[in-house]
A and B are shown apart, each in its own frame.
Chain A
Amino acid sequence: MQDILSISAVDLGKKIAAGEITSVEATQAYLDRISAVDKDINAYITVMTEPALKAAEEADKMIAAKKAAGEELSPLAGVPIAVKDNMCIEGTLTTCASHILDNFVPTYTATAVQKLIDAGCVIIGRTNMDEFAMGSTTETSYFGATKNPRDLTRVPGGSSGGSAAAVAAMECPAALGSDTGGSIRQPASFCGVTGIKPTYGRVSRYGLIAYGSSLDQIGPLGKNVTDCATILEVISGHDAKDSTSAGADETSKQDERTTDYKFTEALVDDVKGMKIGIPRDYFLEGMNEDVKKAVLDAAEVLKSKGAIVEEFDLGMVEYAIPAYYVIACAEASSNLERFDGVKYGYRTSDYLDLHNMYKKTRSEGFGAEVKRRIMLGSFVLSSGYYDAYYVKALRVKALIKKAFDDAFAKYDVILGPVAPTTALKLGESLSDPIQMYLGDIYTVSVNLAGLPGISVPCGEDSNGLPIGLQLLGQTFDEKKIIRAAYSYEQYRLNNMSLKCDDIFGKEA
């Protein structure tokens, strides 16, 4: 069974399609793995044992029927997938890792998840996260921190830390995460897995419980680039229920990239002539030397494969974090207003009147980091401060977008680190939120500009902790970054150990 756990989602899909293994067997293998290791990792908030086995049975029937009818199968049919706990699934507890939603069962299913279900995937469980996706360590979860499978004394990153850890610990072949300021890419980097943050508008946000609506995107985390590209292909596309999803209006019809979801076509080991830019301003003082070396080595690999690699000055780097926190928190302060104890979720046990009910419910229901961001967001939107903070942050956002546009006029892909460090010790950043915010320096600007980004493993630091390489593309240029990441991955598969299995031989 270890075999099944170590192979990729797409390879598992092939085995299921070939009848070598059933979806029920694969699902059961992962459920067993979860029972064995998740008490140490805490990657899951909810393990959907019964519904998953039932879905696997149905998937097996569907696969048999389709094969009998000679119909085409989705490459992911029958494959178990984990879903971050901020995407609604009808009838399944969906908590956002918050006390305020710890009893919330949605009446509908998020579009991205529905697309996986329609492709025959088996949703195996709901992964842990920072509360309402606010955090970079998965320590702000109401259900306790997730541990990094590569070192149980360290954080898995966040906010999609549960999804990244579940993939790394082989508790699922692949997972969905969401990325508002790096929440897919940074935990992928910390856990040594691959993750894609798609272009804003590529994947429907319908059913994703919003943090920063103008920045949030759902994306895949997996063992390799192929799995991520395959999942992304399934979940992408215009959704009439999400006005911000791309591919419907006149402007997007003029740009065929907005409706081209054939990402697996880009799984080609060829970067000849590809122009890759490395922002000099990404390699500043204080950066972990091991990270710097691993990232620059990766650039050399791509160069050796025929890419044209250059250093350049991107600009605006230092303004990304303040602008991001103003915009994301402003939107969050409004998005989280609906959690008030009136309609669903937690309500305080005793209260004097309506106002007191609101106040107590929200004081008791939200954790410290969420409250901090709600307060910050409420402040920057308040009368008299709106122009000074929010409007100014939107101007910075526009300038950051312009800096990237200028760069993409010259380069196909921008290459850099995902984070300035590898995984931190548990508890290290909780006491110093500013330090935690600064760790997002290479990821948040990508969300502000709406760009696609991919994080692929590119080595280890001196402690044996994974390092992530980040490749960025112009909006709707996922194919370019997938191609570059795939090419790099081919080199690495042939030249480095993947350390994907047997992480549980050692005690923490």
Chain B
Amino acid sequence: MDYEVMIGLEVHVELNTRTKIFCGCSTEFGGAPNTHVCPVCSGMPGSLPVLNKEVVNKAISVGLATNCDITRNSKFDRKNYFYPDNPQNYQISQLYYPICRNGHVIIEVDNPDGIDPDTMHTLWSDPATDSKCEEITESERTEKGKKLATYKKAVRIHEIHMEEDAGKLVHDGFTDETWVDFNRSGVPLIEIVSEPDMRSAEEVVAYLEKLRETVQYLNASDCKLNEGSMRADVNLSIRKKGSTEYGTRTESKNLNSFRAIRRCIEAEIERQIEIIEDGGKVVQETRRWDDEKGYSYPMRSKEDAQDYRYFPDPDLVPLVISQEWIDNIRDNRPELRDEKKIRYKEEFGIPDYDIDLITGEKALADLFEEAVAEGADPKKASNWLMVETMRLMKEHNLDADQLKFSGTNLAKLIKLVDAKEINNAVAKEVFEKAIFLDNLDPEKYVADNNLSTKADSGELEAVVRKAIEANPKAVEDVKAGKGKAIGAIVGFVMKEMKGKCDPAEANRMIAEQLKNI
């Protein structure tokens, strides 16, 4: 029997505002426990929340970039439940009037199995299907000459709402005591809720990557799954192909990497199929994924589901969003990745492969643009980022947004090479030792450490003369037409010059002197 899989995602994104959603406390990660707290975010009696406008700006910008309608009269609601990490014992969230609704994103999914686009259309034959979801086309992309089939589809976004994060419980196993740290309490979150439009782990990963890239480009969050600034819960159900009814879904939590998400989905599909094949019924429940063990276990069932007693928070006034406000955000929105891709091609003419890699991380794209703006050749800048930067990132285990060096210093380095002040080998050394981690000025570094390879032409001429005298055999070979033999003389020169000269320049000078012999 063939099954089809329906997956919807609830994605929490921690917004990178400077202060919390309902008070003026810092959102900075870390810090000694309970140092970024005040009466509001620690739930003191009598304290009142005041909405941080920047949270609304960021939520609207994400909503616009994901084609949502912005709710002009939005409200906050209280979600009531008792837990010690939640100082008021209610979370301020949005149930009835979330800030964004009815959006979609287009994802591009690798298609190694060569799914027939016609059958993909039938995957979408849901009576409730929005017309936006019919946008399915097959396209082909050329990557380094290798043909890789991909397809595009729309994933609908049901809503995006704003809410506050909870604090953290710290358990002391030694004393068997649990302590509460409210530093994270009140950090702003948006929850992006999709429709159950995804059909495979590949589609889920493509969707999450699309969301991450969009939110990063909007400078709304760093979206790190491993640090919890992006968290995804997976709602998954299966049904027999051809059936129009939804199956019973489960919700999987604790997914801290794309790998965990992929593995969890595959395991959950298998688990649900097995239950149905054995004549059983899938139970509606929340399951916790254990990525080390590679399986999930139930956390709570539908029967245990709490009644959150949602109601509008009387401490916050309705959030009225004017058309001007929305227009202002739309007009000042940063360039998104898809737009950058088109512009890079037109403006800089660098290869698609480069564009894809550089725009893959906003931090790299920012570095690239800064370097080019400072006069660096676009292709050379892109090479430095794709080759040396990525190699060193891997070596130092750094993410793109942790890079400390400036595009300006990269541009200076490229110019030093262009001006033949230093050769490529020295440039790599300068990049690694001075720029990559410490962001030192390469011009100053080269001068201070006497690394210039631009030899005094008098000195180089003398060394070349010496090299010719010292290598009679090579000279003879060259004269006999064995061009490669010049390498020995160049090598001698480089050694004498201790690497501080341009090998091409040495080559040219040797050839000139040999002509005169």
Q: Which residues of A contact B (CB under 8 A)?
A: 86-88, 94, 96, 101, 104, 106-108, 110, 205-210, 212-214, 240-244, 249, 330-331, 333-334, 337-340, 342-344, 354, 358, 378, 381-383, 386, 390
Contacts and interface: CB of A to CB of B under 8 A. Distances in A.
A381 B315 contact: no
Nearest to A212: B314
Nearest to B51: A243
Contacts of A214: 314
A449 to B, nearest CB: 15
Contacts of A88: 44-46
Given A337-B80, A337-B82, A206 B46 contact: yes
B315 A244 contact: yes
Contact of A334 (B39, B49, B80): B80
B151 to A, nearest CB: 41
Interface in B282-336: 307, 309-311, 314-317
Contacts of A337: 80, 82, 88-90
A110 B315 CA distance: 15
Contacts of B88: 337-338
B82 A243 contact: no
B357 interface: no
Contact of A330 (B42, B50, B307, B311): B311
A358 B81 CA distance: 12
B46 A106 contact: yes
A430 to B, nearest CB: 26
15 contacts: A106-B46, A209-B46, A210-B45, A241-B48, A241-B50, A243-B316, A244-B316, A249-B317, A333-B80, A334-B78, A334-B309, A340-B89, A343-B87, A354-B84, A381-B309
B43 interface: yes
Contact of A358 (B49, B82, B315): B82
Nearest to A108: B39
B457 interface: no
Interface string B25-51: 000000000000001001111111111
A103 to B, nearest CB: 13
A243 B46 contact: no
A108 B51 CA distance: 20
B46 A210 contact: yes
Contacts of A240: 50
B78 A338 contact: no
A101 B82 contact: no
Contact of B42 (A208, A249, A343): A343
Contacts of B309: 333-334, 378, 381-383, 386
Nearest to B23: A241
Contact of B49 (A106, A209, A243, A333): A243
A339 B315 CA distance: 18
A343 B43 contact: yes
Q: At the interface, is chain A mostly helix, strand, loop or mixed?
A: loop
Contacts of B133: none
B314 A331 contact: yes
Interface string B80-116: 1010100111100000000000000000000000000
A464 to B, nearest CB: 38
A243 B90 contact: no
B446 to A, nearest CB: 54
Contacts of A334: 78, 80, 90, 309, 311
A243 B75 CA distance: 13
Instruction: Report, nearest first, the 9 A-B pairs whose CB atoms are least far apart.
Output: A337-B89, A214-B314, A213-B314, A381-B309, A209-B45, A207-B46, A209-B46, A88-B46, A338-B43
B167 to A, nearest CB: 10
Residue of A88, A338, A386 most packed against chain B (CB within 10 A) = A338
B77 to A, nearest CB: 10
Contacts of A110: 46
B311 A381 contact: yes
Contacts of B48: 205-206, 241-244
B44 A243 contact: no
Given A249-B317, A337-B89, 4 more contacts: A94-B45, A110-B46, A333-B80, A343-B180
Given A104-B45, A106-B45, A342-B84, A243 B307 contact: no
A339 B80 CA distance: 13
Residue of A106, A342, A390 most packed against chain B (CB within 10 A) = A342
A87 B46 contact: yes
Contacts of B80: 333-334, 337, 381
A338 B89 contact: yes
B317 A243 contact: yes
A334 B45 CA distance: 12
A107 B39 contact: yes
Contacts of A383: 307, 309
B89 A390 contact: no
A492 to B, nearest CB: 37
A242 B22 CA distance: 11
A158 to B, nearest CB: 20
A382 B307 contact: yes
Residue of B44, B51, B87, B316 most packed against chain A (CB within 10 A) = B44
A87 B45 CA distance: 9
A42 B82 CA distance: 35
A395 B180 CA distance: 40
Nearest to B180: A342
Nearest to B78: A334
A107 B34 CA distance: 14
Contacts of B50: 240-243
A101 B45 CA distance: 10
Contacts of A338: 43, 45, 87-89
A209 B87 CA distance: 15
Contacts of A96: 45
A342 B180 CA distance: 9
Contacts of B39: 106-108
Contacts of B90: 334, 337
A210 B88 CA distance: 12
Contacts of A108: 39, 44, 47
Nearest to B88: A338
A190 to B, nearest CB: 26
A421 B188 CA distance: 51
Contacts of A331: 311, 314
A241 B42 CA distance: 15
Contacts of B87: 338, 343
